[in-house]
Structure 1
Amino acid sequence: MPKCVYCGKNYEFPRGTTIATNKGNVHYLCSGKCRKNMEMKRRKVRWISKTKKVKEEKK
């Protein structure tokens, strides 16, 4: 099961998108929402689980 690079969610393999960059890096994305937001600037948004973990660690 690949893990989404943007939101950190595990998903089944036939779903989602796999993006290979020119540098040879492979990015697994679970949905179009994650793909579109990854192409934009990185921001703190509520629906990403990583930001919740960071907030908990700071406390």
Structure 2
Amino acid sequence: MVETYKCNFCGKAIEPGTGRLFVRKDGALFYFCSMKCHKNYDLGRVPRKVAWTEAGRKALGKE
């Protein structure tokens, strides 16, 4: 069975064979669906404060 992952930044489901895997020095795994999510994570942005993410929409009361 092929595992599907959830993007650590926006919360979107990642199709098998796509996306990016980032491994931090302490061994923590981060899955990103796109370069957009990866760059926003690198910039230190919080997903709750970005309107187009799943957490951001929930914080704004849209979902």
Same fold by TM-score greater than 0.5: yes
5+ residue gaps in structure 2? none
5+ residue gaps in structure 1? none
2:60 partner SS: helix
Q: What is the aligned partner in structure 2 of residue 19 from structure 1?
A: 22
Segments of 4+ in structure 1 off by > 6 A?
A: none
Q: Which moved more, 1:17-26 or 1:44-53?
A: 44-53
The percentage of counterpart residues that share the same residue type is: 36
In the alignment of these two chains, the number of paired residues is 56
Q: Which moved more, 1:1-10 or 1:37-46?
A: 37-46
Q: What is the aligned partner in structure 2 of residue 49 from structure 1?
A: 54
User: What is the root-mean-square deviation of aligned Cα atoms in Å?
Assistant: 1.2
1:36 partner SS: helix
